[in-house]
Amino acid sequence: MLLTCNALKHLRFENVAGKVVLITGASSGIGEHIAYEYAKKGAHLVLVARRKDRLEVVAEQSRQLGSGDVIVIPGDVANVEDCKKFIDETIQHFGKLDHLVNNAGITQTLLFENYTQIQEANPIMASKAALLRFFETLRVELNPDIKITIIFPGVIATDMSSPRFIEQYGSDFILSQSVSKCAKGIFRGIGRGETYIYEPSREKWVLLLKNLCPEIVDYLTNCLFVRYGKPYFKRE
């Protein structure tokens, strides 16, 4: 039965033409390229981020790719009033909201010894776990009327992560994936209605291996990030 359900997922794909999609963190990186994937399929876009000038660039590119209507709403997702504004202006302009892509975020990659206080690490780790459990619970409550897809990106070559990783590990970092390839994979998964999306797709196999043989994953991770520092393989 599970095999049949998975096969059916790959046969169907949601038609997003004319649907309204709000994307946070749309000024660069994964959010920007997810916007382009939706635009190619004719979706209407609401682009949200703090940098209005960058949003305008992404909006124009999205129109050229096929989006019939794109609006830009500058703001900060950390501000509750701004979040209300995003929804209100979307409904006012389009009269509906079909997809919400919660993409905005920050990244921080430090060894334990570089944290000046352990309290600095707590919010990052706690928020990751909290978001996962929150949306898993919300999915159960809202199903089947509203579908929720949870995305687990690995190391993606975005403006936010690339400089830091290139400085520390070199430009040929083994696990990095291009942002456009990542966005395509995410868009495919959303269109199929997948519950979880791992990009690169090998991330889910790493998770499976960690559950079966955690010592192997711990050893390889230590080699890549700590012991040797600079890997020897090329980016995809």
38 contacts 100 by C-beta, under 8 angstroms:
no
Q: State the distance between the two ends of the chain, measured CA to CA, in whole angstroms.
A: 34
49 contacts 198 by C-beta, under 8 angstroms:
no
Write down the pLDDT at residue 56: 98
Write down the pLDDT at residue 231: 44
| Amino acid identity, position 221 | T
Write down the pLDDT at residue 214: 86
What string of pLDDT tens digits covers the 236 residues of the chain? Answer: 544 455 555 668 899 999 999 999 999 999 999 999 999 999 999 999 999 999 999 999 999 999 999 999 999 998 999 999 999 999 999 999 999 999 876 655 555 555 555 555 566 667 778 889 999 999 999 988 899 999 998 777 766 555 555 555 555 555 578 899 999 999 999 999 999 999 988 888 888 888 888 888 888 877 766 665 554 333 44
Write down the pLDDT at residue 107: 58
3-state secondary structure of 20: strand
According to DSSP, residue 156 is labeled E
Domains delineated in the chain: 14-105 (3.40.50.720), 125-229 (no CATH)
Q: Can you read off the two tokens belonging to residue 143?
A: 């199903």
| Amino acid identity, position 167 | E
Write down the pLDDT at residue 128: 79
Write down the pLDDT at residue 234: 39
Cα separation of 201 and 205, whole Å? 8
Q: Beta strands of the chain (E only): which ranges?
A: 20-24, 44-49, 70-74, 99-101, 150-153, 156-157, 177-178, 196-199
- Candidates 176, 196, 173; CA nearest to 186 is 196
Residue 116, judged by CB atoms within 10 A of its CB (0-12, 13-18, 19+), counts as exposed
- In the chain, DSSP finds a helix count (H) and a strand count (E) of 9, 8
Cα separation of 124 and 121, whole Å? 6
pTM given for the model: 0.79
